[in-house]
Amino acid sequence: GAGVSQSPSNKVTEKGKDVELRCDPISGHTALYWYRQSLGQGLEFLIYFQGNSAPDKSGLPSDRFSAERTGGSVSTLTIQRTQQEDSAVYLCASSRQVDDNEQFFGPGTRLTVL
Amino acid sequence: EDQVTQSPEALRLQEGESSSLNCSYTVSGLRGLFWYRQDPGKGPEFLFTLYSAGEEKEKERLKATLTKKESFLHITAPKPEDSATYLCAGWGGATNKLIFGTGTLLAVQP
């Protein structure tokens, strides 16, 4: 595809359930980033991948959040035992490499936890 | 603490009324200053990267400038289609990550 894609576009879940969010980066981009955007807040960095490894997990809000990337391509962000405060738009971005910080963003997944 | 602050939070302009958006930053070891545009329901769209004080970049009605403490996004003779949220981000600092401001919501009325 021409750009970063994310699925689902919207997800409504009940408190306590687990959710998986998917990101397909631009082909050939080695760096992949996850952000969270809450209403009225700036983009909050969560985690980034260089290839399949995640050198910096410092932004993950709690141990309920995890992410993986396989084959240097698709990434999934998993939130276990969701809480209402997890409700936000989760954005994924990719760049050619970590030192090339021209990041291209996907459309986001809007997560609503009831 | 590394921080990026944008002002104003919201700006309403008449079509053709030029103005500037401000992004002030305290990011140690700044490697770049980024501007993005975000439309409702979409991800941010890259506009500019500025790497050093004094640098300027232009794209259509937009011009971005950078000093050692702040960046400006100048909008000349805006059109309604320029309405969006404009995000500024600093790259560098202790964590070598993009640090985003909360954005300026621009509304251009015909």
Residue of B nearest to A58 (CA): B95
Q: What is the pLDDT of residues A3-29, one digit of tens each?
A: 999 999 999 999 999 999 999 999 989
Using a CB-CB distance cutoff of 8 angstroms, which residues of chain B are in contact with residue A33? 98
Q: Which of B30, B35, B13 is closest to B79 using CA atoms?
A: B13
Cβ distance A104 to B46 less than 8 Å, yes or no, reads yes
φ/ψ of B81, rounded to 5, equals -70, -10
Q: Which helix (H) or strand (E) holds A108?
A: none
Give, as one character, the DSSP assignment of residue A40.
Answer: T
Q: Which homologous superfamily is A5-113 in?
A: Immunoglobulins (2.60.40.10)
Chains A–B, number of C-beta pairs less than 8 Å apart: 52
Q: What is the pLDDT of residues B21-44, one digit of tens each?
A: 999 999 888 889 999 999 998 999
Band of residue B95 on the pLDDT scale cut at 50, 70, 90: low
Residue of B nearest to A95 (CA): B46
State percent of chain A over pLDDT 70. Answer: 96
Q: Which helix (H) or strand (E) holds A3?
A: none
> From CA B109, how far away is CA A27, in angstroms rounded?
39
A27 touching B, CB under 8 A? no
Structural domains in chain B, sorted by start: 3-109 (2.60.40.10)
> From CA A47, how far away is CA A28, in angstroms rounded?
19
